[in-house]
């Protein structure tokens, strides 16, 4: 422990002053100016139950920081609590988690532009401010092709040099299925709208009466190989499974607690929202295609305005007709969920980046809506079409201000905090029920345009619609238990991402196969630049050099990840060339990056070069 020894100057001050109360304050300040303490901070992350990879990365970082004399401790908190404290209250020192990687790099703009620093949500949670980066981020959204690539290269240079956050890895996804039960479309990741719509039952399990003999055979072998509780009886008939439901496990229970598209602490990659809520366009094969929209065109006389025509006869899940007014309402509502009733705007923290692209919106007729954009290129502008369209008649009453205990200050509306467990969307699935932290049930929405309309080429793959009577998500406490549910035939596949342990047990279980892919998640270390020492880019760079990516991808991610220095590393916008290599080289791990062993003395001198001093016992000191 660092001691609070009185320095000579403090002693002089102590003897020199009288004991009036005003002097006590002076004495304190003299005392504290000389007082140095070991730097100590916390690393927030989620517990292993929620995401063992994040916990392990945080533990690794804490250990490395301790080696360089910093007292760092890992504080595990639940997912929603982490998102609340990091994204809404900005109450953190350092955190380790993942952010979703949308298909277009324009997500970097809300993530890092300084004008979003006072915002909440995935809008500059770090509090980073860099005017040069701001202008690069503004420029790229108006550019295309090689010009944009070059601007994004410059932007990545600045980001990596300044380390507002330290990217660690983009993991591969792994999900387990029962190929004997369900055929999944090959090209789509399981747990996507396209995969659910394309999934087909394997014929043998269509007859409920034949279930006991066929299912039992598979299950006995499964149970033997994992030597667990024998399931001896076939006599339980109290819970007959509906013949034709697609049943999935999730390990993240949040969708059973909240289905509000605007509720940041409860949202993940947005798949559940996309099942229930439609958007004007959908990204299919990395390109925006008309979805609720029949088509869109830029106006001849105003090239910054997009005219979007809705399909005919669109309906909400409650039977009301969808009009262009709902679309116009959605964009106004996302920009200000108080609808002008408060003295300040209360934008939705979700979809903020996309909604910010739209300057104004108006319903030209009941079927056509006009969106005007600022100085934004077409590809970026089309991002705005992927926001979920909300029914005005449902959401308008929730524009009222409210207060919630978990939010420190700031305005909030009911719309941002309601649970919305009976969502009225217009998506291909309708929610039929939720059971708190246990399950979520959906059924196909019969009036959906995929089921009722002739589809053009880009949507032809969805012909025939959802092939089951229902879609059910069952919460499994862990990947391991999810595999157990899968092998015993309670579910058909896992929707949540599997840990490497769960993948191993899945591969060792007969009848189960594992599907892998590249995820759209970036694990990273986020710093709160609102407080020292994280205000100091040299400090952040020194911390970044404690991260051994090859070691982490091998040991923590079990080889199933790309170690990345930039969140765009796996995209076509990944920079190349000598100057990029130099930037990366300057942030090279201090030590052997394969074994993860830190060269402690070099690492310490790195912090000394950044202006920090060490105590005799090796603690990194800061003024208190």
Partner 1 sequence: MNVPPLVSMLVSVLGGGAAALFVATLGIVGPTRVRDAYGTFRERARDASKYLGLLVVVLLVNKFARDVGPEVSWLLGWNVTGLIYAVEGDFVMHVQSLATPTLTAVLSAIYLSGYVFLLTFPFVAYFVATDRRPLKLTAVAYAVNYGIGLCCYILFISYGPRNLLPGQVESLLYVTYPQTQILTRQVNVNTNVFPSLHTSLSVSAALVAVWTYDEYPVWAFVAPVLASAVAFSTMYLGIHWALDVVAGALLGVASVAIADSVVDARVDETSST
Q: How far is the CB of 487 from partner 1 (least distance, A)?
A: 9
Q: How far is the CB of 216 from partner 1 (least distance, A)?
A: 7
Q: How far is the CB of 551 from partner 1 (least distance, A)?
A: 13
Closest CA to 65 of 609, 554, 550, 525: 525
Q: How far is the CB of 466 from partner 1 (least distance, A)?
A: 23
Which is closer to partner 1, CB of 62 or CB of 275? Answer: 62
What does each C-alpha distance from 602 to 224, 245, 542, 581 come to in angstroms?
53, 59, 11, 21
Q: How far is the CB of 47 from partner 1 (least distance, A)?
A: 4
Kindly report the CA angle at 561 between 473 and 55, in degrees rounded to 5?
70
What gap in Å lies between CA 612 and CA 620, rounded to an integer? 7
Q: How far is the CB of 81 from partner 1 (least distance, A)?
A: 5
Give phi and psi for 541, each to the nearest 5: -65, -40
What gap in Å lies between CA 618 and CA 71, rounded to an integer? 11
Which is closer to partner 1, CB of 416 or CB of 476? Answer: 476
Which is closer to partner 1, CB of 171 or CB of 189? Answer: 171
Which is closer to partner 1, CB of 20 or CB of 233? Answer: 233
Closest CA to 503 of 479, 525, 487: 479
What does each C-alpha distance from 621 to 71, 72, 486 come to in angstroms?
10, 13, 52
Judged by the rule CB under 8 A, the positions of this chain that interact with partner 1 are 42, 47-49, 52, 55-56, 59, 73-78, 81, 211-212, 215-216, 219, 228-229, 231, 233-234, 236-237, 239-241, 405-406, 436, 476-478, 480-485, 488-490, 501, 505, 556
Which is closer to partner 1, CB of 409 or CB of 577? Answer: 409
Contact criterion met (CB below 8 Å) for 167 and 567: yes
Q: How far is the CB of 211 from partner 1 (least distance, A)?
A: 5
3-state secondary structure of 4: coil
3-state secondary structure of 433: strand
Which is closer to partner 1, CB of 67 or CB of 289? Answer: 67
Which is closer to partner 1, CB of 212 or CB of 611? Answer: 212
Q: How far is the CB of 54 from partner 1 (least distance, A)?
A: 10
3-state secondary structure of 260: coil
Q: How far is the CB of 552 from partner 1 (least distance, A)?
A: 12
What gap in Å lies between CA 359 and CA 372, rounded to an integer? 6
Which is closer to partner 1, CB of 403 or CB of 405? Answer: 405
What gap in Å lies between CA 65 and CA 41, rounded to an integer? 10
Place of tokens 């070099």: 602
What gap in Å lies between CA 388 and CA 334, rounded to an integer? 10
* 623 strand-pairing partners: 36
Which is closer to partner 1, CB of 330 or CB of 434? Answer: 434
């Amino acid at each position: 422990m660092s001691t609070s020894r009185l320095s000579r100057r403090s002693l002089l001050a102590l003897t020199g002053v009288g004991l009036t109360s005003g002097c006590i304050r002076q004495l304190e300040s003299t005392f504290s100016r000389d007082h140095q303490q070991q730097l100590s901070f916390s690393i927030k992350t989620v517990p292993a139950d929620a995401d063992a990879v994040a916990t392990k990365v945080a533990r690794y970082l804490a250990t490395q920081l301790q080696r360089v004399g910093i007292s760092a401790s890992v504080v595990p908190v639940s997912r929603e609590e982490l998102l609340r404290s990091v994204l809404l209250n900005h109450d953190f020192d350092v955190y380790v988690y993942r952010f979703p990687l949308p298909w277009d790099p324009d997500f970097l703009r809300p993530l890092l532009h300084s004008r979003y620093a006072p915002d909440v949500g995935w809008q500059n949670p770090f509090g980073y401010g860099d005017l040069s980066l701001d202008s690069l981020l503004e420029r790229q959204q108006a550019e295309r092709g090689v010009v944009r690539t070059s601007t994004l290269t410059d932007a990545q240079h600045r980001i990596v040099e300044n380390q507002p956050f330290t990217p660690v890895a983009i993991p591969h996804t792994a999900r387990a299925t029962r190929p004997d039960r369900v055929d999944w479309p090959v090209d789509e990741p399981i747990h996507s709208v396209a995969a659910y719509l394309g999934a087909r039952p394997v014929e043998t399990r269509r007859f409920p009466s034949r279930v006991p003999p066929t299912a039992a055979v598979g299950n006995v072998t499964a149970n033997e190989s994992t030597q667990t509780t024998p399931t001896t009886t076939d006599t339980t008939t109290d819970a007959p499974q509906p013949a034709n439901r697609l049943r999935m496990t999730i390990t993240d229970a949040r969708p059973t607690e909240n289905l509000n598209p605007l509720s940041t602490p409860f949202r993940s990659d947005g798949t559940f929202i996309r099942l229930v809520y439609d958007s004007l366009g959908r990204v299919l094969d990395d390109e925006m295609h008309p979805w609720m929209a029949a088509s869109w065109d830029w106006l001849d006389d105003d090239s910054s305005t997009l005219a979007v025509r809705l399909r005919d006869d669109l309906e909400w899940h409650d039977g009301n007709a969808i009009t262009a007014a709902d679309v116009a309402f959605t964009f106004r509502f996302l920009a200000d969920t108080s609808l002008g009733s408060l003295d300040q705007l209360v934008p939705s923290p979700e979809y903020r980046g996309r909604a910010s692209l739209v300057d104004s919106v108006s319903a030209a007729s009941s079927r056509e809506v006009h969106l005007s954009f600022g100085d934004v290129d077409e590809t970026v502008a089309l991002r705005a079409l992927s926001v979920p369209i909300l029914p005005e008649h449902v959401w308008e009453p929730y524009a009222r201000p409210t207060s919630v205990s978990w939010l420190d200050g700031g305005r909030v509306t009911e719309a941002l905090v309601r649970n919305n467990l009976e969502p009225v969307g217009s998506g291909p699935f309708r929610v039929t029920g939720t059971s708190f932290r246990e399950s979520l049930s959906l059924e196909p929405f019969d009036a959906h345009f995929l089921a009722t309309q002739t589809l053009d080429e880009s949507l032809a793959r969805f012909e025939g619609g959802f092939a089951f009577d229902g879609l059910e998500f069952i919460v499994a406490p862990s990947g391991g238990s999810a595999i157990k549910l899968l092998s015993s035939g309670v579910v058909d596949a896992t929707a949540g991402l599997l840990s490497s342990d769960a993948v191993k047990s899945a591969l060792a279980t007969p009848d189960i196969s594992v599907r892998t892919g590249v995820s759209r998640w970036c694990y990273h270390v986020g710093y709160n630049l609102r407080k020292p020492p994280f205000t100091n880019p040299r400090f952040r760079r020194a911390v970044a050099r404690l991260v051994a990516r090859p070691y982490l991808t091998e040991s923590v991610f079990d080889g199933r990840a790309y170690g990345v220095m930039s969140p765009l590393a796996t995209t076509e916008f990944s920079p190349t060339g000598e100057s990029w290599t130099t930037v990366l080289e300057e942030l090279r791990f201090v030590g052997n990056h394969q074994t993860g062993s830190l060269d402690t003395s070099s690492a310490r001198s790195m912090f000394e070069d950044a202006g920090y001093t060490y105590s005799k016992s090796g603690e990194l000191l800061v003024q208190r």
